[in-house]
Amino acid sequence: MTVTEMAVSTATRGARFVPGTSEEQQLFARHQQGDRLAREELVRRFMPLARSLARRYDRSSEPFEDLLQVASLGLLKALDRFDPEMGHPFASFAVPTILGEMRRHFRDAGWSVHVPRGSQERALKVRDAQERLANERGRAPTVQELAQYLELGQDDVIDALQAIQAYESLSLDAPRPGATDEATSYGDAMGEEDARYELVELDATVSAVLGRIPQRERQILRMRFVEDLTQTEIAARVGISQMQVSRLLRRSLDQLRALTDTKS
Amino acid sequence: MAVAPNVSLTLSNQPENVLLVRETLSGLAETVGVDGVELNDIRTAVTEACNNVVLHAYEGGEGPLQVELYVAPSAVEVVVRDRGTGIRPHIRSEEEDALGIGLSIIQALAPRVEFKDVEGGGTEVRMEFSTPGTESLAPLAEGGFEPPRVAEASLATTTGLALAPSELAGRVLPRVMCVLAARARFTTDRISDAELLADALVSRGFQSGAQQHMTLSVQVGAREVELRLGPLGGGDAGKLMANTDAGIGPVVEKLTDERRIASEGAFEMLELTMRDKR
């Protein structure tokens, strides 16, 4: 097995964004002498590189316009610092410079917070669209339908679905407008003991620990696993989003399993 | 780096599988506490390496894309492997620029990159990322490890994956199931059910038999996802499906449309089918 480091440098040389032509070499030479027109022409020529990097560098977390702006700034820095005398292709110098600029931007923006702004906004859009489409059609939408409706990529919709799963924020948990307080009345009407009794079917071992799951979660578990309602139907009854139902189901099943673990 | 990975994926080189790799990375990152710029670097570089296999490894045709993830103290290593013509013949073409940038990106973002020829044909890109503070996770297997096998003929519709330890599997498998259920054109209702199923399998799957890791293959059809878990020891699939402390039977029964236990020599395979009958 051979390490093909050489192959890599060949690859960068083979790239389009290389001052291979004498015309570009001239532009770099004029730029170095302070020719503003030459600089503008170089920016124009290499902007596709900045654009392509902005597009690739985590597509889903920040608005593209912001990324492109930062990438363009990186391109300007690369153009000003590049030394054609060194004999390296411009791309091999520009790519790390532009990426470095984008990484610095993310660090400065305090980007290590869990869900970036762009993703958060998109998650809210996806959640709202999910509800609207479910209302219109009487069933939950597919990812493809959500993507088409919101003019987003399917990848973005799936990213958003995952982000919603990760949220614990109250803004997502708040009741939707127009939601009834059926969940509360529902629980009262059927009686707590009944709910507990029926849920034992779900798991022979849960009866001892079921009381330690909040009432609302018990009701949602019952609706899904005893009454066989879909998550969308449960969402409509309880007055929260389907995504929220999904999260509550996952959490309470997880709690039940953890509780039966400690019990045994 | 450890001998065996923490996650091993056997995929086809279809473009939509890049998302599956990205979601897997996100699950792993969540487990070991890597986020922000570090996670973004890893996702971006690995996406480039995968896109290369998607676009160039099989000259427009289809073939395997294999991805392995390793977590070590303060480092995450990702290996992307193909069995095709790979990077090397491609770089001879002066016209195509995409890969040129791709390799520059990988080299700019991964502190250590290694390109290797795979015996019998193919290319391997090994990228090591620095992730200060991460601790190593128990790998898939102590001895030798075979990546999950998927027959070449069914590779287009089938995803093979092996995962360990359970905490990592708990973060990765639901994400993978979400991607695959979406691909099967499930509604968001059934996608959530697929995630619930993944949670259940991870919670008890590791307790059955002498499994050091969980090996699954998932086949995607039209509004249908078929999951095969195993090999499990004799009787273990039954225990997993039972209505006991160690079982997940009642939950699985509600979430799936078909359940079978198939024998494979001395071992058992648990086969589950989910449909979206909207």
Beta bridge partners of B163: B7, B214
Cα torsion at B228, B232, B238, B244 (round to 10°)?
Answer: -100
pLDDT of residue B45: 94
In this prediction, residue A30 carries a pLDDT of: 92
d(CA B255, CA B136): 34
DSSP tag of B12: E
Sign of CA dihedral A231, A237, A241, A245: negative
Using pLDDT thresholds of 50, 70 and 90, give the confidence band for residue B18. Answer: very high
Does this model's pTM top 0.95? My answer is no
DSSP state, residue B187: B
* Residue B79 clears pLDDT 80, i.e. is over it: yes
Q: At which residue do the structure tokens 């964004």 appear?
A: A17
Query: What pLDDT, on the 0 to 100 scale, is given for residue B31?
Result: 93
pLDDT, tens digit (0-9, with 9 covering 90-100), for B19-49: 999 999 999 999 999 987 888 899 999 999 9
Residue B272 has pLDDT above 70, yes or no: yes
A116/A94 Cα distance (integer angstroms):
26
Q: Where are the alpha helices (DSSP H) in chain A?
A: 5-13, 22-32, 36-56, 64-81, 90-108, 117-137, 143-150, 154-166, 170-173, 182-190, 192-199, 215-225, 231-238, 242-263
Q: Do A250 and B182 touch (CB under 8 A)?
A: no
Chain A neighbors of B191, CB-CB under 8 A: 143, 161
Q: Contact B189/A232 with Cβ under 8 angstroms?
A: yes
Query: How confident is the model at residue A2, as a pLDDT?
Result: 37
Cβ–Cβ under 8 Å, residues A224 and A205:
no
Which residues in chain A are contacts of B35 at CB distance < 8 A?
Answer: 112, 114
Chain B residues with CB-CB distance to A13 below 8 A: 100
What local confidence, expressed as pLDDT, does residue A121 receive?
Answer: 82
- Among candidates B36, B43, B93 on the partner chain, residue whose Cβ is nearest the Cβ of A111: B36
Q: Cβ of A243 and B188 within 8 Å?
A: yes
The pLDDT, as a whole number, for residue A110 is: 58
Q: Which residue has the tokens 């890969």?
A: B99
pLDDT at B161: 95
d(C-alpha B220, C-alpha B156), whole Å: 9
Strands B158-163 and B214-221: antiparallel
Tell me the nearest-neighbour CA distance from B262 into chain A, angstroms: 24
Secondary structure of B192-203 in HEC code, one letter for each residue: HHHHHHHHHHHH
Residue B79 backbone phi and psi in degrees, to 5: -115, 130
Whole-number Å distance between alpha carbons of B42 and B178: 21
The predicted pLDDT at position A11 comes to: 40
Q: Is B128 on the interface with A (CB under 8 A)?
A: no
Q: Which of residues 222-241 of B touch A (CB under 8 A)?
A: none
B36, B188, B203: residue with CB nearest A257 = B203
Give me the amino acid identity at B46: V
Helix (H) or strand (E) holding B229: strand B224-232
In angstroms, what CA-CA distances link A140 with A132, A149, A234, B12, B110? 9, 13, 12, 29, 41
Number of Cβ within a 10 Å radius of residue B114: 15
pLDDT (0 to 100) of residue B22: 94
Give the integer Cα–Cα distance in Å for A139 and A197: 30
Assigned token pair, A16: 């389009």
Which has the closest alpha carbon to B155: B218, B83, B86, B69?
A: B218
The reply to whether residue B116 touches residue A2, judged by beta carbons under 8 angstroms, is yes
Q: How much is the pLDDT for A210?
A: 73
Q: Which long-range contacts (CB under 8 A, 24 or more apart) does B128-131 make?
A: B128/B1, B128/B75, B128/B76, B128/B77, B129/B38, B129/B41, B129/B42, B129/B45, B129/B75, B129/B76, B129/B77, B129/B78, B130/B38, B130/B74, B130/B75, B131/B32, B131/B34, B131/B38, B131/B74, B131/B75, B131/B76
pLDDT tens across B181-236, in order?
Answer: 999 999 999 999 999 999 999 988 876 554 678 899 999 999 999 999 988 888 88
pLDDT in tens, chain A (264 residues): 333 333 343 344 334 444 456 788 889 999 989 999 999 999 999 999 999 898 887 655 667 788 889 999 999 999 999 988 887 788 888 999 999 998 888 777 655 444 566 777 888 899 899 989 998 998 999 999 999 999 999 998 998 898 887 765 434 444 444 444 444 444 444 455 555 566 666 665 566 677 788 888 888 988 998 888 999 999 989 888 888 899 999 988 888 888 877 655
**Could you tell me whether strands B224-232 and B258-264 are parallel, antiparallel, or unpaired per DSSP bridges?**
unpaired
Residue A169's pLDDT is 47
CB A177 within 8 A of CB B38: no
Residue A172 has a pLDDT of: 44
So what's the ipTM on this one?
0.89
Q: Which of B41, B43, B178 sits opposite A161 (nearest CB)?
A: B178
Q: What is the DSSP string of A29-78?
A: HHHHTT-HHHHHHHHHHHHHHHHHHHHHS-TTTS-HHHHHHHHHHHHHHH
A95/B191 touch (CB, cutoff 8 Å), yes or no: no
